[in-house]
Structure 1
Amino acid sequence: MTPFCTVARDGAILVVTMNNPAKLNALVAHAHDEMAGIFNAFEADPELHVAILTGAGRAFCAGSDIAAYVAGTNRPLPPAGGGGLTHNTTLNKPVIAAINGLCMGGGFEIALACDILIADETASFALPEPRVGAAALGGGLIQLARKMPPSHAMKLALTGERIDAAEAYRLGLLAEVVPAGTVVDAAKAIAANMLKGSPLSLRITRRIMKLALAGASAEELDRVELELRAQSMASADFAEGMAAFMDKRRPVFAGK
């Protein structure tokens, strides 16, 4: 079985590339399980702190391989969901979507599950499932409602229409739009900025942000903040950060 993704390490950054450019990186039957394994390994690796997800060729991901559905050879999604990300409740490390070209259907749902979305100027986005008698039930509708103004999210969801990178940026879906061919480098620059901070602090910050974006109650947020504040202040990274600040030097974080 041909692997769907290629994986490369760049220091503390993991670059995951969906690599089926002949089919615009359409999600074949084994892709979701493979990607779940990749992101599980990323979570477990103490030397890796940020992941970047991108696509080979002229697409990020064109969505599911419709031929597999027609042939009945598709598989149920793993517990972590589409791309190992859409329903992943155990991942604590940040993932950046570096979107190049087409980002459609299940591919868009996977991108929406990432923590930061950036795109090159050629990118375009849609959830076209209603146009083929389906619905975007892989988490994309929920994420779209959280990440875009309500009326625009509803329009995009109900029409299945496509928007370009400039429009996605205007609507707040993207953090950056960059020239074609530079999106992975731009994602690495964001990751490098993140890695100036404590890896433990990245995980703690991401957890609170995810809870808040998901609409957690004030009581739950207060409870988790108290728990994480105690964890943070008792950590080696906190002690190193304070010492480095007082010594006017760059901290060397251990991630714990």
Structure 2
Amino acid sequence: MSTEDVLFEQRGQVAVITLNRPAKLNAVTQEMSDALVELAQRCNDSDEIRSVVLTGSGRAFSAGSDIRELDKYQSPWAFRNRGDYCDSLKVLRKPIVAAINGYALGGGLETALICDIRLASTTASFAAAEVKLGWIGGGGMSALLAHSIGPSNTAVMLMTGDPIDAERALTWGLVSEVLEPDALLPRALELATTIASRAPIAVETAKANLSAAYNLPLDQAVAYERDLQTICFATQDAVEGRAAFADKRAPRFTRS
């Protein structure tokens, strides 16, 4: 990678990606965005990596885009077609657990929303803050928030730009768990390790199916789920799962 502002570590079958620009609340530069694109591809290409934990260093998960860089685009059209860090994570086939340790603002909130599972520290706060600066989010903010917390709560966040704390995020369904700061990353790793122990093809098809459930009409979503079930059922891992059940032992999944 071309930057030290994004860290990568592999712990067994779990990749840990850390936004590492704490002095700037992990505001994302173009170099960081490029690094995330590279790391997403690395995770997709690796049979050894089965799940991902995404977190930030210091007091923030991410404060979104580095505002000072936004004036560098030569035209609105160049801004529209920029390589975006949120888009880099959307292509990840492996499940992503977000360990949200502090501020998740603007694009940082969008980044968290793209993750499959969100865990928050008691110190976390969330805001769709772009409206305070004269624009709105462009990485899926409205749609992803509406799916997570409903249209009324989404309107509050989008139209005021004011933050909500971790407990309200939990009540609204934005996060699954709220933990003390020291427990956040261990819990995220525990959950990602559990996911990594499952049949990887089945896990990835479950992720694809969840996306389809939001984007397809009900009858098409159910038919798509049946197709994915059939694909999974034909794998050697499914054969192994049935054999392990019959033998009363832990399965040994090989991604085949």
Q: TM-score, normalised by structure 2?
A: 0.92
Are the counterparts in 1 of residues 3 and 35 from structure 2 also a CA contact under 8 Å? no
In the alignment, structure 1 residue 200 sits paired with structure 2 residue 205: no
> Unpaired segments of 5 or more residues in structure 1?
none
Aligned residue runs from structure 1 range 41-56, under 5 A: 41-56=42-57
Match of 2:254 in 1: 254
2:18 aligned partner, one-letter code? T
What is the CA–CA distance in structure 1 between the aligned matches of 2:222 and 2:109, rounded to whole Å? Answer: 32
Match of 1:231 in 2: 231
Q: Deviations over 1:180-235 (max 9, x none)?
A: 132111101111222332111111111111111x2311242233223212211110
Deviates further, 32-41 or 17-26: 32-41
Amino-acid identity (%) = 34
In the alignment, structure 1 residue 135 sits paired with structure 2 residue 139: no
- Aligned residue pair count: 251
Deviates further, 165-174 or 177-186: 177-186
Match of 2:39 in 1: 38
Report the CA distance between 1:81 and its aligned residue.
Answer: 4.9
Q: TM-score, normalised by structure 1?
A: 0.92
Q: Which among 82, 85, 105 is matched to residue 77 of structure 1?
A: 82
Report the CA distance between 1:28 and its aligned residue.
Answer: 1.1
What is the CA–CA distance in structure 2 between the aligned matches of 1:83 and 1:31, rounded to whole Å? Answer: 13
1:25 aligned partner, one-letter code? N
What is the CA–CA distance in structure 1 between the aligned matches of 2:4 and 2:63, rounded to whole Å? Answer: 17
In the alignment, structure 1 residue 163 sits paired with structure 2 residue 164: yes
> Unpaired segments of 5 or more residues in structure 2?
none
Match of 2:151 in 1: 150
Report the CA distance between 1:34 and its aligned residue.
Answer: 1.4
**Structure in which a larger fraction of residues adopt helix:** 2
Report the CA distance between 1:126 and its aligned residue.
Answer: 0.1
Are the counterparts in 2 of residues 33 and 83 from structure 1 also a CA contact under 8 Å? no
What is the CA–CA distance in structure 2 between the aligned matches of 1:118 and 1:181, rounded to whole Å? Answer: 13
What is the CA–CA distance in structure 1 between the aligned matches of 2:228 and 2:87, rounded to whole Å? Answer: 29
Q: 1:71 to 1:200 in 2, by over 3 A?
A: closer
In the alignment, structure 1 residue 177 sits paired with structure 2 residue 178: yes
Report the CA distance between 1:121 and its aligned residue.
Answer: 0.4
Report the CA distance between 1:65 and its aligned residue.
Answer: 0.8
Instruction: Name segments (4+ residues, structure 1) moved above 2 Å.
Output: 1-4, 70-78, 80-83
Match of 1:101 in 2: 102
2:143 aligned partner, one-letter code? I
Q: Secondary structure at the match of 2:47?
A: coil
Report the CA distance between 1:71 and its aligned residue.
Answer: 4.9
Q: 1:195 to 1:29 in 2, by over 3 A?
A: closer
Q: Secondary structure at the match of 2:118?
A: strand
Q: Deviations over 1:127-184 (max 9, x none)?
A: 1101101111111111001100221111111110100101100111101100013211
Alpha-carbon RMSD = 1.7
